[in-house]
Amino acid sequence: MFSKNNLISTVVATLWAFFGGYLLWDIIGGSLLESHKVTAGLMRSTPDYFHLILGCFIVALVFSIVYSKWTRGQHSISQGAEFGLWISILFGLGNGLIDYSTANILDITGTLINAVLFVVYYVIMGIIVSLVYNKLSGAKE
């Protein structure tokens, strides 16, 4: 579980989780989602960076571990993208629709835009993790 491959993959995926999340949800998605927020003042103006980085690390660690188990040693870009797609459907679409039905966060259009951002986010994370695992596949997992 805590192999060299997994630890390196986790570090690289953590960097993507933090900077990719900023790129997708702040720079690109911020203006797209602004008019679809149901509750004003919902988001903090300045994130709590300690907990944000910790959350990114946990996402990357679990993503890397589950990816490694799911692929069973066969690491390719297409496998990484497929794994990322399934994770994005789980969290972006599935959890997004649950949030839409139970909370006043986003309207349905915002929920679907957010789901698309999740697809991009996790597909790229899957590709990154697959590339790291593939590069290090000569080393024992």
What's the mean pLDDT in 4-31? Answer: 94
Q: Which helix (H) or strand (E) holds 130?
A: helix 108-135
Confidence band, pLDDT 50/70/90 cuts, at residue 18 = very high
Of the two residues 23 and 141, the one the predictor is more confident about is 23
Asked if 59 and 12 touch (Cβ cutoff 8 Å), the reply is: no
User: Sign of the CA dihedral 104, 108, 112, 113?
Assistant: negative
Q: d(Cα 73, Cα 85) in Å, to the nearest integer? A: 19
Confidence band, pLDDT 50/70/90 cuts, at residue 140 = very low
Asked if 106 and 71 touch (Cβ cutoff 8 Å), the reply is: no
CA 8 from centroid of its chain's CA atoms: 17
Confidence band, pLDDT 50/70/90 cuts, at residue 116 = very high
With 50 as the cut, is the pLDDT of residue 45 above it?
A: yes
What is the reported pLDDT for 138? 59
Per-chain mean pLDDT for the chain: 91
Residue 12, class by beta-carbon neighbours within 10 Å (0-12 exposed, 13-18 middle, 19+ buried)? middle
Q: d(Cα 1, Cα 129) in Å, to the nearest integer? A: 15
What's the mean pLDDT in 16-45? Answer: 88
With 90 as the cut, is the pLDDT of residue 110 above it?
A: yes
What's the mean pLDDT in 47-62? Answer: 96
Burial letters 68-85, b for 16+ CB under 10 A, else e: beebeeebeeebbbbbbb
